[in-house]
Structure 1
Amino acid sequence: MRIIISPAKKMREDTDSLAWRDLPAFLPQTEVLLSTLRALSDAELAALWKCSESLAVLNAERVRTMDLRARLTPAILAYEGIQYQYMSPGVFTDREFDYVQEHLRILSGFYGLLRPFDGVTPYRLEMQAKLHVGESKDLYAYWGERLAAALCAQSDCLINLASKEYSVCVSRYLPPSVRMITCVFGEEKNGKIVERATMCKMARGEMVRFLAEHQVTEPEQMKEFDRLAHRFDPVRSDDSTYVFVRPGKGVHT
């Protein structure tokens, strides 16, 4: 079983808390991306990132000075988004770190596929970014089937906790022999399930923590997840989609 999650835009450098163990598996491809970014002007980078001027200045400086092999941070500690805040890897036990190192994989527009203890440096490059790389029109084309192939070589069951922006670069290449279970976290409203972006990120982080704490190795065990008031809904779920529902506002259980 392998669990896939999205990265986060906000990143930090932490070279003190834990040591990184390995360089990312797709580092040669990352080096090509870095060279492509360095060939762009600051204005072109800002247009690519679609961010504030201050963030554009910060990340342009990162691109110019980036070292992919020095002052690295374990990927699990490098990302600071809501999902990672609720995952709370900073308080993982050794046993939980061992679990995520084996089972968790982070999808990345820049690094491709990361294990939690792969060493990374702060960057900004979303998978949806319209970056032309050689003959590839964008990052989806650049990464192609490589990420899916790497995951399929490790397991025949994938737990999808990633956003569609990232999961699609895996799902579109999966063979029938590999099962992907997408987790949906939502609220019931007028008989329908409504997904709220922030709550989804929170729940995905909590799910990773739940899986690590309980050392889950079979999908069936995930159905016990009950955090942030979510409960597994067997009626709305099937073999490829696990739906977890929490009461909507004004609904009492």
Structure 2
Amino acid sequence: MADILSPYQLRQQIRSGEFSTNTSGYCAGFVQGNLAILPADYADEFLKFCQFNPKPCPLIGMSASPGDFMLPELGEDVDIRTDVPRYRIYEQGVLQREVTDIKEYWQDDMVAFLLGCSFSFEEALLADGLEIRNISEKVNVPMYRTNIECKSAGRFSGTTVVSMRPMKPADAIRAIQICSRFPSVHGAPLHFGDPDAIGIRDINTPDFGDAVTIKDGEVPVFWACGVTPQVAIESARPPLCITHSPGHMLVTDLPNSRLAIL
């Protein structure tokens, strides 16, 4: 079963095309990463954008130099061109297509950035007995655009995207306590309760991912999300940019415990 494979084995399945779905719930114990690949001319500004907005954009790795597509610090034989289940191709900030391999799009001046992902803290929530609805319903986590402004950096600006998991209020408080230990993978939730307060008009219609059931007595709990850079890329309008498709992450060899504050 794919869900008991090692990160290396899962990446090999992704590379061969055998696995192309979302990675939530796979390779428990290991860090998953959001992806943004940009031309070198945009890399410094994007790095500053991440530094200015660490909640939605927690940087965990990047190319050693422009054009370098191998990321050995993140795992064995990690090739960023082939080891993500699904990629998005943007031209002038506009989404053009989704693909499962970016070798034909790779350029010698490209720089890859990996950002921490909320899938990493889901393991800690599950270990504490909290249900993660997107995992129990076997769908991608719902994600929403908000009215929470990011701090701009050069050509990069925009609002924060959040992921949502419904919980009882007492469980939401516990989730805040747990996730505060994981600042490198978005940390504590940004908000829980009224979606309209952060600019979400219809909780049942996410902008990315899939809707999940919100049961009686539960409230939506919102975490900063690594899809946020995709919104910033829309404003920066680089000639070419490549990201992961929402929910389709790079699964690394880094243990989640390395990112926790004990």
What is the TM-score of this pair, normalised by structure 2? 0.24
Higher helix share goes to which structure?
1
Larger radius of gyration: 1
Q: Higher strand fraction: Structure 1 or Structure 2?
A: 2
Bigger RCO (CA 8 Å, 6+ sep): 2
